[in-house]
C-alpha cells in the first residue's frame, strides 16, 4: 500500500538511535543539544529548541510571546488543528481568515481587509510546503503591532526570497518564531518531535524553561526560596520560576533527527522529482488541478511535504469517497487534508464559527485530495499512482 506520506528510515538512522539507547543518558541531554545546534545552523537561525512535538512548539510560541486572554490569533483554516488550538490553550481567541485560491495559504489581502484591533499574532502556515506570502503577511501583521509565528511543519528545508536573496524558512526574518514538526509523515522525522526556532534570546530561554516545568538549575537565574534555613544551594538545587510543562524530547529521538537532517536535502530533491513527474502526468487531465507555486522561481527551493491536487468530483460525477476507495483497492491510499478548522464542531460551538466564514477554503475542501509522496517511492510506485488516478478520473473510463 502506498500511503500519502511515510517515514524513510535507513540502517544508519537505526544505528545512531541504538547508539544513544546504549548510552547512560537517553532523555533530553547532549544529543538534544547537538540536534538543536545542527538544526539552527541548517536553517540559519540563532536558536532552536527541540520539543516532544510541534503542537507543544506552537503552544510555547504563544506563551513566550505573552499571547493570552484578550488576544486574537489569526491563522489559515486550511491547516491541521494545532495551528489554531495553540491560541485556545493560552486563553486567546483563535480566528480564521480565508486562503488564497492559488497557494491555498492565508490570503494577505483578506488578512488586511478583516484585521481586528485585538489581534496579537498571526500564525502563517506553508500548506504542503508551498510557501505562504510571508512578506505581505508580515507587512500587515507588523504594521498592526502583531507578531508573526510561522507554522513551517510542512516546509522544513524550503526557502523564500527576502530583499532579493534566497533565505531558508526559519531565518528569513519575516517571522518572530518558526515551528517545525518531525511527525513520521513529515519530511524528516524523530518519531514524534518539534522544533521552535527564533533569533530572539528571551523567547528561546523562556521556551527551554517552560519545556521542563518552568525549572532552572542555572545559578545566575536563582531567586532563592526566601527561607534562610532552607536556602542552601547545593548541587541538587533547582527552582521553578514559572508554570511549565513536560514537553521534552528524548536523546534517542534527537539521534534520529540528526541522522535524518544529514540527508534532508537529498530527500527534498527526491520529493521535488516526484512532484515534477506528477505535475507532468496530470497536466492534461481534465478534472485535476495540480499544485501551483505563486512564485515559480521557488520551484527548485520548495520542500514539498504533500502532493495535493484539486479534483472536480461534481463534474466528474463521482464522490470523493468512491474515488478514494477505488484507488485504495489498487494499493493507493490517499488522504483529505484538511477539513477547514473553523468548521470543526468545537470551533463552531465555542466561537460561533460556521459555513461561509472562509468560502475559498470551504470550496478547496470539497475538491482536495493528497496523493502518495515520500522519497522511498520508486519510479514504479509513482507510475502506479499516476495510472490509477488517471484511470479513475477519466470520463472514457467512466463511460466504459
Ligand atoms: C500544519 C501543521 N501544524 C502543526 C502540526 C502539529 O505537529 P505535531 O504533530 O508535531 O504536533 C501539524 C502536524 O500534523 C501540521 O501539519
Please indicate whether residue 294 or residue 57 has the higher confidence score (pLDDT): 57
Q: What pLDDT is stored for residue 68 in this prediction?
A: 98
Q: Pick the residue whose CA is nearest to atom 7 on ligand 1.
A: 54
pLDDT at 226 over 90: no
Which of 262, 278, 298 is the C-terminal boundary of a domain?
A: 262
Which residues constitute the domain of residue 255?
A: 11-262
H-assigned helices in 212-311: 251-262, 264-282
Task: Give the span between the Cα atoms of 253 and 272, in whole angstroms.
Answer: 26
Residue 138 belongs to a domain: yes
Residues 223 and 295 both lie in one domain:
no
Residues 302 and 218 both lie in one domain:
no
Q: Quick check: helix, strand or coil at residue 99?
A: strand
Q: What pLDDT is stored for residue 231 in this prediction?
A: 72
As a whole number, mean pLDDT of residues 334-352 equals 98
**Type and span of the H or E element at 181:** strand 177-181
* φ/ψ of residue 340, rounded to 5: -55, 130
Q: Quick check: helix, strand or coil at residue 21?
A: helix
For ligand 1, say whether the CB of 76 is within 6 Å of any of its atoms: no
Cα of 104 vs centre of ligand 1, distance in Å, is 17
Pocket test for ligand 1, best of 50, 52, 54 (most atoms within 8 A of CB): 54
Cβ atoms of residues 20 and 26 within 8 Å: yes
53 Cβ neighbours under 8 A, 6+ residues apart: 181, 182, 183, 192, 193, 194, 247
Residues 106 and 239 both lie in one domain:
yes
Residue 2 belongs to a domain: no
The DSSP result for 374-399, as a single string, is -TT--HHHHHHHHHHHHHHT-HHHHH
The chain-wide mean pLDDT, for the chain, equals: 96
Digit-coded pLDDT (tens) for 94-147: 999 999 999 999 999 999 999 999 999 999 999 999 999 999 999 999 999 999
Asked if omega into 206 is within 30° of 0 (cis), the reply is no
For ligand 1, say whether the CB of 105 is within 6 Å of any of its atoms: no
Question: CA triplet 9, 290, 109: central angle to 5 degrees?
Answer: 105
Task: Give the span between the Cα atoms of 219 and 318, in whole angstroms.
Answer: 66
Residue 5 belongs to a domain: no
Residue 4 belongs to a domain: no
Residues 147 and 232 both lie in one domain:
yes
Residues 102 and 228 both lie in one domain:
yes
Cβ atoms of residues 149 and 175 within 8 Å: yes
Which of 244, 262, 280 is the C-terminal boundary of a domain?
A: 262
Digit-coded pLDDT (tens) for 344-396: 999 999 999 999 999 999 999 999 999 999 999 999 999 999 999 999 998 65
* Ligand 1 atom with minimal separation from the 55 CA: 11
Residues 121 and 248 both lie in one domain:
yes
Q: What pLDDT is stored for residue 394 in this prediction?
A: 86
For ligand 1, say whether the CB of 85 is within 6 Å of any of its atoms: no
Q: What pLDDT is stored for residue 397 in this prediction?
A: 52
As a whole number, mean pLDDT of residues 279-283 equals 97
Residue 6 belongs to a domain: no
Residues 359 and 253 both lie in one domain:
no
Task: Give the span between the Cα atoms of 245 and 237, in whole angstroms.
Answer: 19
Digit-coded pLDDT (tens) for 64-92: 999 999 999 999 999 999 999 999 999 99
Q: Pick the residue whose CA is nearest to atom 4 on ligand 1.
A: 82
Which of 228, 262, 296 is the C-terminal boundary of a domain?
A: 262
Residues 129 and 275 both lie in one domain:
no
| Other beta carbons less than 10 A from residue 350's beta carbon | 12
Short-list 89, 138, 132, 88, CA closest to 112: 138
Residue 16 belongs to a domain: yes
* Ligand 1 atom with minimal separation from the 194 CA: 10
For ligand 1, say whether the CB of 54 is within 6 Å of any of its atoms: yes
Digit-coded pLDDT (tens) for 22-64: 999 999 999 999 999 999 999 999 999 999 999 999 999 999 9
pLDDT at 400 over 50: no
Residues 222 and 295 both lie in one domain:
no
Residues 252 and 289 both lie in one domain:
no
As a whole number, mean pLDDT of residues 180-201 equals 98
Cα of 153 vs centre of ligand 1, distance in Å, is 6
132 Cβ neighbours under 8 A, 6+ residues apart: 76, 103, 105, 106, 124, 125, 126
Specify the CATH number for the domain of residue 255.
Answer: 3.40.640.10
What are the cell numbers at 241?
520560576
Residues 68 and 201 both lie in one domain:
yes
Q: Pick the residue whose CA is nearest to atom 14 on ligand 1.
A: 80
For ligand 1, say whether the CB of 150 is within 6 Å of any of its atoms: no
What are the cell numbers at 302?
520548495
Specify the CATH number for the domain of residue 334.
Answer: 3.90.1150.10
Residue 347 belongs to a domain: yes
Digit-coded pLDDT (tens) for 153-164: 999 999 999 999
For ligand 1, say whether the CB of 125 is within 6 Å of any of its atoms: yes
**Range name among 174-178, 196-200, 394-398 with the lowest pLDDT average:** 394-398
The residues annotated as belonging to the active site are 186
DSSP assignment letter at 316: H
For ligand 1, say whether the CB of 151 is within 6 Å of any of its atoms: yes
Pocket test for ligand 1, best of 59, 78, 129, 183 (most atoms within 8 A of CB): 183
Residues 271 and 257 both lie in one domain:
no
The DSSP result for 320-333, as a single string, is HHHHHHHHHHTTB-
Residue 131 belongs to a domain: yes
Task: Give the span between the Cα atoms of 149 and 170, in whole angstroms.
Answer: 10
pLDDT level of residue 263 (50, 70, 90 thresholds): very high
* Structural domains in the chain (count): 2
Cβ atoms of residues 75 and 122 within 8 Å: yes
Cα of 55 vs centre of ligand 1, distance in Å, is 6
Cα of 124 vs centre of ligand 1, distance in Å, is 13
**Can you give the C-alpha Rg of the chain in angstroms?**
22
Short-list 15, 396, 341, 381, CA closest to 151: 341
End-to-end CA distance of the chain, in Å? Answer: 27
Task: Give the span between the Cα atoms of 182 and 156, in whole angstroms.
Answer: 9
For ligand 1, say whether the CB of 153 is within 6 Å of any of its atoms: yes
For ligand 1, say whether the CB of 126 is within 6 Å of any of its atoms: no
Q: What pLDDT is stored for residue 396 in this prediction?
A: 53
Amino acid at each position: 500500500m502506498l500511503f500519502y506520506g511515510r517515514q524513510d528510515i535507513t540502517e544508519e538512522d537505526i544505528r545512531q538511535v541504538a547508539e544513544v539507547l546504549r548510552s547512560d543518558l537517553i532523555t533530553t541531554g547532549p544529543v538534544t543539544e547537538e540536534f538543536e545546534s545542527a538544526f539552527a545552523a541548517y536553517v540559519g537561525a540563532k536558536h532552536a529548541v527541540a520539543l516532544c512535538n510541534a503542537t507543544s512548539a506552537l503552544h510555547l510560541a504563544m506563551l513566550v510571546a505573552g499571547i493570552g486572554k484578550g488576544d486574537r490569533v489569526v491563522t489559515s483554516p486550511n491547516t491541521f488543528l494545532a495551528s489554531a488550538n495553540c491560541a485556545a490553550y493560552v486563553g486567546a481567541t483563535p480566528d480564521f481568515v480565508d486562503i488564497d485560491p492559488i497557494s491555498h495559504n492565508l490570503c494577505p489581502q483578506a488578512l488586511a481587509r478583516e484585521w481586528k484591533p485585538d489581534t496579537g499574532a498571526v500564525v502563517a502556515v506553508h500548506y504542503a510546503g508551498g510557501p505562504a506570502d510571508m512578506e505581505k503577511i508580515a507587512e500587515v501583521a507588523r504594521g498592526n503591532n502583531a507578531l508573526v509565528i510561522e507554522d513551517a511543519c510542512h516546509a522544513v528545508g524550503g526557502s523564500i526570497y527576502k530583499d532579493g536573496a534566497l533565505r531558508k524558512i526559519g531565518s528569513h526574518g519575516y517571522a518572530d518564531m518558526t515551528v517545525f514538526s518531525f511527525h513520521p509523515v513529515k519530511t524528516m522525522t524523530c518519531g514524534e518531535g518539534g522544533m521552535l526556532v527564533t533569533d530572539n534570546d528571551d523567547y528561546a530561554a523562556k521556551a527551554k524553561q517552560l519545556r521542563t516545568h518552568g525549572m532552572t538549575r542555572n545559578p545566575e537565574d536563582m531567586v532563592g526560596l526566601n527561607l534562610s534555613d532552607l536556602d542552601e544551594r547545593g548541587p541538587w538545587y533547582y527552582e521553578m520560576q514559572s508554570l511549565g510543562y513536560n514537553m521534552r524530547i528524548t536523546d534517542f529521538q534527537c539521534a534520529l533527527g540528526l541522522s535524518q537532517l544529514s540527508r534532508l536535502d537529498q530527500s527534498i530533491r527526491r520529493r521535488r522529482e516526484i512532484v515534477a513527474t506528477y505535475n507532468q502526468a496530470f497536466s492534461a487531465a481534465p478534472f485535476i488541478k495540480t499544485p501551483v507555486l505563486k512564485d515559480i522561481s521557488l520551484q527548485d527551493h520548495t520542500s514539498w511535504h504533500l502532493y495535493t491536487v484539486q479534483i472536480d468530483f461534481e463534474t466528474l460525477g463521482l464522490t470523493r469517497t468512491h474515488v478514494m476507495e477505488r484507488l485504495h483497492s489498487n494499493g493507493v491510499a490517499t488522504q483529505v487534508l484538511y477539513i477547514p478548522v473553523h468548521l470543526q464542531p468545537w470551533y463552531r460551538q465555542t466561537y460561533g464559527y460556521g459555513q461561509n466564514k472562509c468560502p475559498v477554503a470551504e470550496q478547496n475542501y470539497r475538491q482536495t485530495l493528497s496523493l502518495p509522496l515520500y522519497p522511498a517511492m520508486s519510479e514504479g510506485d509513482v507510475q502506479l499512482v499516476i495510472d490509477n488516478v488517471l484511470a479513475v478520473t477519466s470520463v472514457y473510463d467512466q463511460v466504459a
